[in-house]
């Protein structure tokens, strides 16, 4: 995709938003007080924020000196401008040494001045983006999705700049937040979680729910039921009244809706997909289930081959419009990145990193499915998965806060962990990476005829763990 440069022009006699005197005061403050340089650099990291070109080249010179740990004053900056060949653009030594330094009496309010200049820059950028969008929208050859992507890139650039201006939480404030969080956790009611529910009581107890800003990666080989696992997650969050979003790159929204009905009822998936009902009375139950689920605040995008940029754009819109509390992605390896050299590993690394950034930006958990390499199948003996089995990129392991694997031993004619078996589980949920705690394995019950997971104590009574795990030939999705 072409790189877009936005250049602002005047329109209908209006001057672009600007504050020349405040720009002068900021630069003058940096010339007379070295402490002001640090304050400004925390808020402004590029000269394009300044409206006048002469102020841009002066800021560049100051920034270069600061990066080289050189002293900064009117004389050193003037010398740097001459070395850069930009002294004439900057207005010469007189403008730097006299005009700018006389514009400021104190640097006490320099951070406030920076925010004013940033505000004017944002307005100019928005005007420029809008002008470019209007111009491109008239062109018949411009693809509509390129148009939207270009606008998103421009706004992302603004957000990245403003992120540098966020107030840093002091260590004292951070310690107080620790106390407040412990108080909140201590006052929680039974079965209440600090994050959003995982959909399973045992996992909620262990994790406290999926936590805001975390990237959770769920890995499994085909046939283990990973989509069913996250659909249970998604459904339980929605049943508690929260909005939730999902990007499905493999299944259609109708297929997902069918599975959600199966998970939220006692119907077999084969009834909903292939056979239908033998008795009309079942339609009454089906209509009741569907009627209740119609009110759930679930948002699904089933676009095939969606790019990470398009996903970010849609997720931000869902957050603004519906205040979604969690985002699910099925699955990472089907998404496209923005790799210029066609290196798939680098592309997956970019996708992984962007999903983690999105989780932090929107302050909510992002749960992504990941395929595992085929080496699991060729491995002799124990088929349990490892972090090294994550397909196509070690960056997934690095970026994720939590990595868990779904493993159903009966799929490989293996025995379930004895401790989990005694609890009535036939599926192992292996926490292979967990930044918030220890690495443990938890047990769930997989019911193949309904293609859904549940806590062992919630499984139907006709399954008796003491008599052995009842096998099934249903193929999970």
In sequence order, the 6+-apart residues with CB closer than 8 A to the CB of 399 are 215, 352, 353, 355, 356
Confidence of residue 365 (pLDDT cuts 50, 70, 90): very high
pLDDT of residue 178: 74
Q: Where are the beta strands (DSSP E) in 228-375?
A: 244-248, 298-301, 327-330, 366-371
Confidence of residue 475 (pLDDT cuts 50, 70, 90): very low
For the beta sheet containing 327-330, the strands, ordered from the edge strand earlier in sequence to the opposite edge, are: 298-301, 244-248, 327-330, 366-371, 215-220, 402-407, 427-434, 441-447, 452-454
What is the CA 141 to chain-centroid distance, rounded? 33
d(CA 356, CA 399): 6
Confidence of residue 339 (pLDDT cuts 50, 70, 90): low
Give residue-wise pLDDT tens across range 404-423: 988 888 877 787 778 887 88
In sequence order, the 6+-apart residues with CB closer than 8 A to the CB of 402 are 207, 210, 214, 215, 216, 217, 431, 433, 434, 435, 436
Rounded alpha-carbon distances, angstroms, from residue 425 to 70, 123, 311: 65, 58, 36
pLDDT of residue 392: 58
Q: Which of 250, 361, 397, 410 is catalytic?
A: 250
- Three-class SS of residue 216? strand
Where does residue 389 fall: left (phi above 0), alpha (psi -120 to 50 degrees), or beta otherwise?
alpha
pLDDT of residue 49: 92
| Tokens of residue 231, six digits | 């659909």
Consecutive H or E run containing 270: helix 269-270
Query: What is the pTM for the complete model shown?
Result: 0.65
Q: Angle, nearest 10°, between helix axes 53-67 and 74-84?
A: 100
* Predicted confidence (pLDDT) at residue 465 exceeds the cutoff of 70: no
| Tokens of residue 359, six digits | 């989780």
- Three-class SS of residue 300? strand
Tokens 């005829």 — which residue? 449
In sequence order, the 6+-apart residues with CB closer than 8 A to the CB of 240 are 197
* Predicted confidence (pLDDT) at residue 47 exceeds the cutoff of 50: yes
| CA-angle at 320, arms to 214 and 115, nearest 5° | 85
pLDDT of residue 471: 43
Average pLDDT, integer, range 279-285: 80
Write out the residue limits of the CATH 3.40.50.300 domain(s) in the chain.
188-467
d(CA 446, CA 167): 47
d(CA 337, CA 353): 11
Residue 250 bears catalytic tag? yes
pLDDT of residue 474: 45
Dihedral sign computed on CA atoms, order 219, 225, 226, 232 = negative
- CATH for 188-467 is 3.40.50.300
Give residue-wise pLDDT tens across range 234-278: 999 999 999 999 998 888 888 888 888 888 887 777 777 777 777
pLDDT of residue 4: 45
Confidence of residue 305 (pLDDT cuts 50, 70, 90): confident
User: Long-range contacts for 66-71 (Cβ within 8 Å, ≥24 apart)?
Assistant: 66/37, 66/41, 71/34
- Domain 20-163: homologous superfamily in CATH: DNAb Helicase; Chain A (1.10.860.10)
**DSSP structural state of residue 368:** E
Question: Can you give the length of the chain in residues?
Answer: 477
Chain-wide mean pLDDT for the chain? 81
Answer for the pair 403, 397: CB distance below 8 angstroms, yes or no: yes
Give residue-wise pLDDT tens across range 98-142: 999 888 878 888 888 999 999 999 999 899 889 989 999 999 888
pLDDT of residue 464: 54
d(CA 290, CA 294): 6
Write out the residue limits of the CATH 1.10.860.10 domain(s) in the chain.
20-163
Average pLDDT, integer, range 374-386: 70
pLDDT of residue 338: 59
């Amino acid at each position: 995709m072409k790189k877009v440069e936005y250049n602002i022009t005047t329109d209908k006699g209006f001057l672009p938003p600007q504050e020349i005197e405040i720009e002068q005061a900021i630069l003058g403050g940096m010339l007379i007080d070295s402490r002001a340089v640090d304050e400004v650099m925390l808020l402004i990291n590029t000269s394009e924020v300044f409206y006048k070109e002469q102020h841009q080249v002066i800021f560049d010179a100051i920034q270069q000196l600061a990066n080289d740990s050189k002293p900064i004053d009117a004389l050193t900056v003037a010398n740097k401008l001459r070395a850069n060949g930009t002294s004439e653009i900057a207005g010469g030594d007189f403008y730097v040494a006299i005009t700018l330094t006389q514009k400021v009496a104190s640097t006490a309010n320099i951070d406030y001045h920076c925010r004013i200049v940033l505000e004017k820059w944002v307005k100019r950028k928005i005007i420029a983006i809008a002008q470019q969008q209007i111009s491109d929208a008239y062109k018949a050859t411009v693809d509509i999705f390129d148009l939207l992507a270009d606008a998103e890139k421009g706004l992302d650039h603004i957000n990245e700049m403003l992120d540098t201006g966020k107030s840093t939480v002091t260590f004292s404030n951070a310690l107080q937040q620790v106390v407040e969080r412990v108080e909140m956790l201590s006052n929680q009611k039974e079965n209440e979680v600090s994050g959003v529910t995982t959909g399973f009581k045992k996992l909620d107890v262990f994790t406290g729910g999926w936590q805001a800003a975390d990237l959770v990666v769920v890995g499994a080989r085909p046939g283990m039921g990973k989509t069913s696992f996250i659909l249970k997650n998604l459904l339980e969050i929605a049943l508690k009244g929260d909005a939730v979003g999902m990007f499905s790159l493999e299944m259609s929204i109708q297929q997902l809706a069918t599975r959600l009905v199966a998970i939220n009822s006692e119907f077999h998936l084969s009834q909903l997909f292939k056979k239908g009902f033998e008795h009309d009375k079942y339609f009454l139950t089906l209509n009741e289930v569907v009627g209740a689920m119609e009110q759930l605040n679930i948002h699904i995008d089933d676009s095939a081959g969606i790019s990470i940029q398009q996903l970010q754009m849609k997720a931000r819109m869902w957050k603004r419009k519906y205040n979604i509390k969690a985002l699910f992605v099925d699955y990472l390896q089907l998404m496209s990145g923005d790799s210029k050299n066609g290196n798939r590993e680098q592309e997956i690394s970019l996708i992984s990193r962007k999903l983690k950034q999105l989780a932090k930006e929107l302050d909510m958990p992002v749960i992504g499915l990941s395929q595992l390499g085929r080496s699991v199948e060729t491995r002799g003996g124990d088929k349990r998965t490892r972090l090294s089995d994550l397909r196509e990129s070690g960056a997934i392991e690095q970026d994720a806060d939590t990595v868990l694997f779904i493993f159903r031993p009966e799929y490989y004619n293996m025995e379930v962990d004895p401790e989990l078996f005694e609890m009535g589980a036939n599926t192992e949920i292996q926490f292979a990476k967990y930044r918030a705690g220890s690495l443990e394995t938890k047990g769930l019950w997989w019911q193949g005829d309904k293609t859904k997971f549940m806590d062992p104590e919630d499984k139907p009574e006709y399954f008796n763990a003491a008599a052995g795990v009842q096998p099934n030939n249903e193929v999970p999705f």
